[in-house]
Amino acid sequence: SQTIHQWPATLVQPVGSPLSLECTVEGTSNPNLYWYRQAAGRGLQLLFYSVGIGQISSEVPQNLSASRPQDRQFILSSKKLLLSDSGFYLCAWSPGLAGGQNEQFFGPGTRLTVL
């Protein structure tokens, strides 16, 4: 069966510090991968998605970046965090089926607080 891992679970960082959040998927190959941010009362905001190694689509311009160095690894980064980067970050994967029906499976999330 497939599993998705995120770490760390919680993170407190000062403004201006770098960020690296990691997401890995087990039990599947060639998944689509996604990063979302969830701010209180604002639903899920898609930040990045990837359909393959080195292929990243950015949905929202910001000071965050994403990379996919391996098939089942997705990393969210920032060189300098802002207060507005605080939130709950969710990673998800989907089977990447052509034509749709790509239900997404979510990781447990990372709570980021920028002080």
Partner 1 sequence: AQSVTQPDIHITVSEGASLELRCNYSYGATPYLFWYVQSPGQGLQLLLKYFSGDTLVQGIKGFEAEFKRSQSSFNLRKPSVHWSDAAEYFCAVEGNTPLVFGKGTRLSVIA
DSSP 8-state assignment for residue 78: E
Residue whose pair of structure tokens reads 């920028």 in the numeric block: 114
Half-sphere CA count of 12, side-chain side, radius 13 A: 1
Q: Please report how close the Cβ of residue 80 comes to partner 1 at its closest, in angstroms.
A: 27
Distance CA(99)–CA(82), nearest Å, equals 38
- Least separation, in Å, of the C-beta of 107 and partner 1? 5
Pick from 89, 85, 88, 90: which is nearest to 115 by CA?
Answer: 85
Phi, psi of 99 (to 5 degrees): 95, 0
Cβ distance to partner 1 smaller for residue 3 or 16? 3
Rg (CA), the chain: 14
Query: Of 32 and 78, which CB lies nearer to partner 1 in the complex structure?
Result: 32
User: Which CB atom, from 14 or from 41, has the smaller least distance to partner 1?
Assistant: 41
Which positions lie near partner 1, rule CB under 8 A? 32, 34, 41-44, 46, 49, 88, 90, 92, 94, 100-109, 111
Residue closer to partner 1 (CB basis): 13 or 104: 104
Minimum Å gap between C-beta 64 and partner 1 is: 17
We find the least distance from the C-beta atom of residue 86 to partner 1, in angstroms, to be 15
